[in-house]
Amino acid sequence: MDWFPLINSLRIAAISTFIIFFAGIFAAYYIAKAPRVIKGILDVVLTLPLVLPPTVVGYLLLRVLGPKRLIGAWFLSVFELKLTMTWWSAVFATVVVIFPLMYRTARGAFESFDETLAYSAQTLGLSNTYIFWRIRMPYCKQGILAGTVLAFARALGEYGATSMIAGYTPGRTATISTTVYQLWRTNDDVRAFQWVMVNLAISFVVLLAVNLLEKRHAAK
């Protein structure tokens, strides 16, 4: 069995999760503090990919990253770099699709934070950086961790936008989800089933990890 789709899916998911971990927390932290109107608008915009069909996300991404489009054309002329149809093109798609998951869970966690902790820390002379990393983040740890794991799981399962922007090239851009579709389409039921089992096993392990983390937190 060729394990390339597994490795490719894992690296795409890992890179995307790494990016949205910081981007999601950053957005959540500043938007939680923003004035109400701005908060409402940004909230809608940033949550949109969660409810849009992945094909719509893929279409919109191709509209800007495609070789003849604004950003895509610029990269092609300046760096001679094609942004679509490579294995890492899928990262663009995954990042956009999983960003709302991280953003929303992190924001929920930040909003449940007891602000008096930050206030009293300030009056005790503790710096705002210290407060963020040593008080706010530990307090919100559980929500942020849950958001990260969920985002990772969702990234592994990304299909629609990925197939549009990275396509399916065996050994180059194939992921688990695009492989399953391709194998099913070509009537290779045995191998399709193998990949389905691989996918199920990974998702099972990830969700088990989330539950164990929550249990351990509750016991403490």
Given the rule CB under 8 A, which residues bind another protein?
A: 114, 116-117, 119-127, 130, 134-135, 138-139
Task: Quote the least distance from Cβ 132 to another protein, whole Å.
Answer: 13
- Nearest distance in Å: CB 123, another protein: 5
User: What does each C-alpha distance from 100 to 8, 58, 130, 197 come to in angstroms?
Assistant: 23, 16, 27, 28
Q: How far is the CB of 129 from another protein (least distance, A)?
A: 11
Nearest to 147 by CA among 8, 6, 9, 22: 22
Measured in whole angstroms, the distance separating CA 210 from the mean position of its chain's CA atoms is 16
Residue nearer to another protein on the CB measure, 120 or 186 = 120
Maximum separation of any 2 CA atoms in the chain, in Å: 68
> Which amino acid, residue 166?
A
Q: Which is nearer to another protein, 23 or 121 (CB)?
A: 121
Q: Which is nearer to another protein, 35 or 125 (CB)?
A: 125
Closer residue to another protein, CB minimum distance, 1 or 218: 218
Q: How far is the CB of 124 from another protein (least distance, A)?
A: 5
Q: Which burial class, exposed, middle or buried, applies to 9 when counting CB atoms under 10 A from its CB (0-12, 13-18, 19+)?
A: buried
